Chains A and B, each alone.
Chain A
Amino acid sequence: MGHEAKREGSTIGSRAVQLTFLLALLALWYLSTTRWGVSPLLLPHPANVYVNFVDILRSGEFINDLRVTLTELAVALALSTTSGVMLGYLVSRSRYLIDVFEPLFAGSYSIPMILFLPLYVLFFGLGPSSKIALGATISFFPIVLCSMAGFGHVEQSYVLVARSMGATNYQLFRHVLLPAARPLIFTGVRMGFTVALLSIIGGETIASLAGLGRRIVQLAEGMEMARMFAYIVLVVIIVAVLNFVVSVIEARGNRF
């Protein structure tokens, strides 16, 4: 009992430390803009950022950029999920093919895929297509690797039972392999989603015409610091919400 109480106390203690840390950061920000004379061109006043944030939300001007970014993300994920799951399935049909392809896909992981961006800008221009291509390339690898692992390690007795009861190839895929591989496929898609979202925002930051990343760069170039900080906060929140939603979907999908 005493031990419990002590643990409880220390949890409160560490919560207090966390809260103090965050408040200290805010206080530091506030003091450096008001008292210590840090130029508002480098660090805007927190209140100013808040006003801009509310204004962005109220005017809804971010909707257009958000739509561009989300469309790119959706198309990229559709491409990489279809091709990744399909290729993962085909490769996993034989132990030999897994041996051949797995190191190829895993090895491609060690190349920073962001290097493809200049190539894609050359191929597809500054529009959404180059960001879609980048996002699809980056998310393809986790999805294909997880699909291969998922389809490749299905309990053999299930396959045998289904076969001996006369399941066709399609029935085997639909009722045995796909349900068995689903948790890993979900994990792969979730991993792909995270990296695709970041790389698409990164691609927009580096070379694009529209999108959330582009908007932040525009504001930075125009030295509208308060509004830029407000947009950074907004994008951080959007990314966090999207990641949360996707991991909830993943957990739901795995419960079957």
Chain B
Amino acid sequence: MTGTIDRCQTFLSRPWIARLLVIGVVLLAWEIAARWFVDPMFLSPPSRVVVSLDEVFRTPGVPAALWVTFLELGAAFVLSVTIGLVVGFAIGLQPFARRSFTPIILLLYGLPQITILPLFILYFGIGPASKIAFGVSHGVFPIVMTIIAGVQNIKPIFLVSARSMGADRWQILRWVIFPHMIPSFFAGMRLGMTGVLLGVLLAELYVSTAGIGYFTTLFTQNLDPTKLLGLVGLLATMAIILNEIVRRAEVKFGEWRIE
């Protein structure tokens, strides 16, 4: 008897098993609440949501909408990284430019961009362009800031010693600055991805003709919680996977140290 209890305790002492149990309990509570206590017009149990995922996919337009949203995220991310790198290096490499423009970038970064979302729709239309633009406006500033901070953190002694050994500008960039920038680059990518996800999804939910926002509105208005939960779950999964990819990359390459 004590043996069983002991085994039970060692089993539970692994945190990840307890973690799964917590998730299981939450799902169970949700299932019970949705089945017996809450109006099915507003909430449906997780089992039914999972079963009807197939139905969500077969709703005309949903796979295309998911694809459109994915492409918007991809385009916004690539643009943010490109612009962020160019602007970040342009400002960061020159001490004078860094001192002058860092406060301006910080000011822009601190603005509540959500207030100008209607302007983005007005300027870029209700199609994917406005979502991409809004995603870039959220993703680009954290990347610029981390790149500037990364350049700033390079120890001047490396630059001086490289120069004194006769390295030219290009060689310094290639062999000193670039390797030192790898950790900040990946940190910036992760922050940028968070921003891009927020920006694109905000714009999608605000107004959308072909993307995912159209269907969330549709399912909400039809009082169809099963499909809405399924769709939101799919989007959350997409976001988690994208975040996880850049986070893994950051952990893998962020460890770079001078040997």
Contact = CB atoms under 8 A, between A and B. Distances in A.
A46 interface: no
B236 A123 contact: no
A100 B22 contact: yes
Contacts of B202: 114, 202, 205-206
A119 interface: yes
Nearest to A220: B118
A93 to B, nearest CB: 15
B240 A110 contact: yes
Nearest to B116: A232
Interface in A99-126: 99-101, 103-104, 110-112, 114-119, 121-123
A10 interface: yes
Nearest to B236: A111
B118 A121 contact: no
Interface residues of A, number: 46
A121 B213 CA distance: 13
Given A100-B22, A112-B201, A205 B117 contact: yes
Contacts of A243: 110
A198 B114 CA distance: 7
Given A100-B19, A115-B239, A122-B225, A13 B96 contact: yes
A161 interface: no
B118 A216 contact: yes
Contacts of B201: 112, 114-115
Contacts of A5: none
Given A14-B100, A18-B103, A115-B239, A213 B22 contact: no
B23 interface: yes
Interface in A219-252: 220-221, 228, 232, 235-236, 239-240, 243
A235 B201 CA distance: 22
A198 B113 CA distance: 9
Given A21-B100, A121-B220, A206-B206, 12 more contacts: A13-B96, A21-B101, A101-B19, A103-B19, A104-B23, A112-B198, A112-B201, A114-B202, A118-B217, A119-B232, A123-B43, A202-B117
Interface of A: 10-11, 13-14, 17-18, 21-22, 42, 96, 99-101, 103-104, 110-112, 114-119, 121-123, 197-198, 201-202, 205-207, 213, 216-217, 220-221, 228, 232, 235-236, 239-240, 243
